[in-house]
Structure 1
Amino acid sequence: MTKRKFIQLNRKWHRYLGAILGIQFLLWTLGGLYFSWTNIDEIRGDNLKQPKIALDVSSDVVSPSTFLNAQFTSKDSIKSLELTSILEKPVYRVVYKSNDGTKVRLYDGKTGKQRLPLNEKEAVQIAHEGLKVSANPTSVEYLTETGKHHEYRGRPLPAYAITFAKPANTTIYVSAEHGNIQTFRSNKWRVFDFLWMLHTMDYEGRDDFNNLLLRAFALFGLFTIFSGFSLFIITSKTVQKNRFSKKSKEMGK
């Protein structure tokens, strides 16, 4: 391949790849600006979260063996056992694995009796308790399934989505079976999540940073950069002039 044809081909690839990659580089830059210029605590909703009150265990609570021995078999594998509180009452939360997968049970801390999952009224109360500011709920939705792009994806179901008006302007997700707040979601988080999807280029699930599309664009980016360097070196008058001067001196010797 002659030098002229190489330059023409290099310029063609550089131009088209630059146009395609330029759009993605712009999206990466916009996302980076938003990530660096926003407060991550506000995006996560930490500024709206009421600090959890420490559990008062001055009154007696039953031993976990009260319900563990009676309601679990050798086929059940206990993953975690936690003494917590639900609406100011002590509750044991047991996460275990059985033949049907991972499950959760709640037990009354004083009686050892199994507690039913949260109802809507209890979920709204818990959401109110976890909210630092005073706001009224505008809607309550009971979720039994979510898609890959849902803002509550990958978290325990079923759950209640309780949306609050200003000044909160946020949706609090409360797990029915875990009996606790799982996460806060606001418009700032939704913008963050959308830009994060564009940043990772995972248009299927949004959270995979090792997808093939991202890897391909990274390689194309390197190719575009190196092709630009090679074009600069080959077509630069200064570089060519220096090479010509060096050759002339070598021939003069």
Structure 2
Amino acid sequence: MQFIKSVHKWASLFVGIQFLLWLVSGFYFNIMDHSKAGGNQYRERIEKVAVDYRSTGNQKLIDPKLVLAENKKTQNLQVVTILGKPYYLLTHEKGLYRHFYNEQTLVDAYTNQIIVIDEHMAKKIALTSYNGPGKLTSVIKLMPPIQDIPKEKNTVWQVNFNDNVNSSVYINASSGRLIRHSDDDKRFADFFFMLHFMDYASEGSFNNWQIILFSIVTLWLALSGLIWTVELGFNGHYRLSLRNQKSKIKVSDKSGKLIDELSFSINQNLLDGLIEHDIVLPSSCGGGGTCGQCKIKVNSDAKITSADKLHLSPLEVESGFRLGCQHKVREFSDLTLLNTHTAKKHALVLMKSTFISPFIKELRFKLQNGSHLKYKAGAYMRFFVPAAKGCAIPQKLPDEFQPHWHHISHLEYEHLACSRSYSLATYDTESDELVFTIKIQTAPEHKILPGIASSYICNLDVGKMIKAVGPFEEFYFSENSIDASIENVSETNVNDEKTLVMIGAGAGMAPLKAIILERLKKYNSKQNIHYYFGARHEVDLIYRELFDELTQKHLNFKYIPVVSKDAHNWFGETAYVQNILNKHFNELGHIDDLAFYLCGPKAMMQDTIVLLQNKGVKPQAIQFDDFAN
């Protein structure tokens, strides 16, 4: 089913684009000047001259029988007049239509000589049909396909004039027949006919493979949409309720202990419903069914969605595992929570908002109720962004950073409500403020919206409130360097002596900064810490002064800033941060005495993980915060 949904979405995009093209081309047909669209703005009507088969003046026409006798393979003989003179047009192979391939010979009706339509003769024929102000500029012999006359399958002469519409006259190179006039007005109209009839291969016909493909895709769109609709119906998405009915579910923890019997609205999504009871399932996709993190356990005979099948193993599905975001409350009477957060919703008040680089802001919040949160360094919170209006360029942008935003188009937009997760850049006892470093995600092009949540939060005015849930502790310092989710780890674990190697870039600074400060300041740890931080330019090296100061105060801490672009007067490392890590790797110590913590852009982390694996670093010695998801 997941495959059907995926293909349905791409098919709808394909069909939607073509419908838009039909709308645009149809609108053009209604407003275009039809008198110009034919390409005959400077065409002169040529009067046909009647020919006496017996004689013309003092000359007699050759008997057609004699002509046919010398050309036995002729299917048809026709008398035509070109430039006021009679000719016999012999057809040896005749197509169904004139523009189909026709093998023809032109014979002088007086002398029985074969006539070849050369450049000189084509020029004369064209001039007799042209009455415009332009001068003849060129005569070109063309073989099909021909752009202006895509249906034509015969060789033609193109005679061009330099008038205001760039007129061209087309003459059949075998018969001397005037095929058509064309100009810029007609070419413009032909472009919209091409869009309207999907004639993208310039075949000059609507009976083409593109339309056949479009018909197949449209049929698939209808069938897959029907299948999807039926599936949603079976899953109960279309049930109507005349009142807000409630349902109770017995909720147990992973040990089987009953937590409580909670009341929900029957049409409510489990992921959202549990949040209202301060039970938060892990989820980085916001309920879209793409991350597969919000696992719960229910009866094994519970219905199975396509997302369940995609993200859960057959054994898990058979055992009753399901994704909470894909199921409604009414489907279950009891469930077991597996990985949950006991976090609550909080109202955060913005105390200070400061640009610390051209695209990153430091935001400091306090809880509205004045309380204090306890959490491990590296934790994150999920912010709930309301529907609002936004702007692609931030407000109150400092003068020194404005040149970095010159390439960004000014775009005002409206967005729907959403939620996004951001890591805390402090440890819990550092201050009573919750500090975040958030990168404003810019739009790659004008038609695409920038980061909705980052733009909204970074444009909040001091004193404004926003709701968030958390903190969630998934990425933090782990003494056993195996899994940050392992509980009851001893502070005296022997691995406390391992060298910590932190690799970060961009907004990935936040959790690593928090962990480093927690180790050095809160716990006064003496273990060696190497911090490799990468940025594009020197101006993007946020908190540089803080880490230089820590380097001076703590002999066990080493800070290695790296820029990926050459910078004027920059004497530090210049490369991607993972490349510098590779350069220094042998200086870090024995591989079994190293623990690695990564946070940053996905490409950087993927490259770094591959590097470490190739070096022989064990998977349990590598922890990372994949905030890109």
Is TM more than 0.5 here? yes
Supply the distance in 1 between the matched residues of 2:207 and 2:159 (Cα, whole angstroms): 34
Letter in 1 for 2:197: T
Secondary structure at the residue paired with 1:49?
A: coil
Deviation at 1:27, TM superposition (A): 1.3
The residue aligned with 1:49 is 43
Which of 77, 80, 83 is equivalent to 1:84? 80
Letter in 2 for 1:121: H
**1:135–1:168 Cα contact (<8 Å) kept:** no
After superposition, the C-alpha distances for 1:148-183 in whole angstroms (9 at most, x for unaligned) are x63244436443211112245211111232112222
Supply the distance in 1 between the matched residues of 2:4 and 2:221 (Cα, whole angstroms): 9
Q: 1:212 to 1:155 in 2, by over 3 A?
A: closer
**1:67–1:112 Cα contact (<8 Å) kept:** no
Once the two structures are superposed, the pairs formed by residues 5-24 of structure 1 within 5 Å of their partners are: 15-24=9-18
The residue aligned with 1:108 is 108
Once the two structures are superposed, the pairs formed by residues 57-206 of structure 1 within 5 Å of their partners are: 57=51, 59-60=55-56, 61-62=60-61, 63-69=63-69, 71-73=70-72, 76-78=73-75, 80-97=76-93, 102-109=102-109, 111-143=110-142, 145-147=143-145, 150-155=147-152, 157-167=154-164, 169-206=166-203
Identify the structure with bigger relative contact order (alpha carbons < 8 Å, sequence gap 6+).
Answer: 1
Identical-pair percentage: 24
Does 1:31 find its partner at 2:25?
yes
Please report the RMSD computed on the Cα atoms of aligned residues, expressed in angstroms.
3.6
Q: 1:94 to 1:38 in 2, by over 3 A?
A: farther
Q: 1:219 to 1:126 in 2, by over 3 A?
A: same
Secondary structure at the residue paired with 1:195?
A: helix
For structure 1, the residue ranges without an aligned partner over 5 or more in a row are 1-5, 243-253
Secondary structure at the residue paired with 1:240?
A: coil
Supply the distance in 1 between the matched residues of 2:26 and 2:137 (Cα, whole angstroms): 33
After superposition, the C-alpha distances for 1:122-152 in whole angstroms (9 at most, x for unaligned) are 2111111011334211222122x233x6324
Q: 1:27 to 1:179 in 2, by over 3 A?
A: same
Q: 1:32 to 1:189 in 2, by over 3 A?
A: same
Letter in 2 for 1:221: T
**1:94–1:105 Cα contact (<8 Å) kept:** yes
After superposition, the C-alpha distances for 1:173-212 in whole angstroms (9 at most, x for unaligned) are 1123211222222223323333333333343343353444
Of stretches 23-32 and 221-230 in structure 1, the one that deviates more from structure 2 is 221-230
**1:200–1:207 Cα contact (<8 Å) kept:** no
Q: 1:185 to 1:224 in 2, by over 3 A?
A: same
Q: Compute the TM-score of the two structures, normalised by the length of structure 2.
A: 0.31
After superposition, the C-alpha distances for 1:203-249 in whole angstroms (9 at most, x for unaligned) are 33433534444234334435656849959x96998x9368xxxxxxx
Secondary structure at the residue paired with 1:140?
A: strand
Letter in 2 for 1:18: S
Letter in 2 for 1:184: H
Letter in 2 for 1:103: E
Q: Runs of at least 4 residues of structure 1 off by over 4 A? A: 8-16, 222-226, 228-231, 233-237
**1:197–1:206 Cα contact (<8 Å) kept:** no
Supply the distance in 2 between the matched residues of 1:102 and 1:116 (Cα, whole angstroms): 16
Supply the distance in 2 between the matched residues of 1:30 and 1:103 (Cα, whole angstroms): 41
- Structure with higher helix content: 1
For structure 2, the residue ranges without an aligned partner over 5 or more in a row are 95-100, 243-629
Q: How many residues align?
A: 225
Secondary structure at the residue paired with 1:31?
A: helix
**2:77–2:91 Cα contact (<8 Å) kept:** yes
